[in-house]
Structure 1
């Protein structure tokens, strides 16, 4: 059984691109568990990843192709939480959506994608969407 942690932000276009990227992989959908994972910035008891359009879109597309989907969420530091979730579920692959940023933007604000790639010992699948 293959486990994929698909870390989704709130951007629907990036979520679609991530879903399509997984669909294009030569993997058996019946032998693959996908955890759609969203990290909220603030701890809000009313927050629900299932209510996000990006999560709903990725879930719809992946379920249509026969993937077994679980939705999970947390709040706080995105890099740390993604790495901890990958460890918890023993993910074979971490799927992330990158976005174009200027070098100054990366230096000032950091990059969750970059940090996960650098700190993870797991395979990271990166999808970039405009």
Structure 2
């Protein structure tokens, strides 16, 4: 059963990826990296470009882990994709990066992390980036 990580090219995404690699290695599990976009914006800065994807593959190759990268545009939001993939693969764990937000920001803005935390059937590890 795999470890799934929601990856975005931010410091929070890096922290989640690092934690997921550690978890996958300690569990002897496959790593599934999800980088998805709804395609709603013409330039979604959370969706990795070709250069970032090549660097990500090189980094994961060097880790020695068995891994797969899901990098696609979907009609569903990334949280739904991660939760569905976790259910389909009977994932051991989902790892997500969370960012610090103000109380007002938490109230007004939707959160992909919150959706994963509330909807996932398997354990979810929420990781903050170092300050």
TM-score, scaled to structure 1: 0.76
Paired positions, count? 123
Contiguous gaps of at least 5 residues in structure 2: none
Higher share in strand: 1
The separation in 1 between residues aligned to 2:73 and 2:32, in whole angstroms, is: 13
Contiguous gaps of at least 5 residues in structure 1: none
Deviating above 4 A after TM superposition, structure 1's stretches of 4 or more consecutive aligned residues are 47-50, 55-58
1:62 and 2:46 correspond: no
Aligned to 1:5: 4
Q: CA deviation at 1:52?
A: 6.1
SS in 2 for 1:107: helix
Matches within 5 A, 1:113-124: 113-124=113-124
Residue 17 of structure 2, aligned match among 16, 19, 39: 19
Matches within 5 A, 1:79-90: 79-90=79-90
Aligned to 1:35: 32
Contact between 2:6 and 2:33, CA under 8 Å: does it hold in 1? yes
> Cα deviations across residues 19-44 of structure 1 (Å, max 9, x unaligned)?
3223444615xx32111111203179
In structure 2, do the counterparts of structure 1 residues 82 and 124 end up closer, same or farther at CA, with 3 Å as the change threshold?
Answer: same
> Cα deviations across residues 48-100 of structure 1 (Å, max 9, x unaligned)?
857262x5554433332211111113423222222111112221111111111
Contact between 1:10 and 1:52, CA under 8 Å: does it hold in 2? no
In structure 2, do the counterparts of structure 1 residues 6 and 58 end up closer, same or farther at CA, with 3 Å as the change threshold?
Answer: farther
> Cα deviations across residues 97-126 of structure 1 (Å, max 9, x unaligned)?
111111211221111111211121211122
Tell me how large the CA RMSD over aligned residues is.
Answer: 2.7
TM-score, scaled to structure 2: 0.75
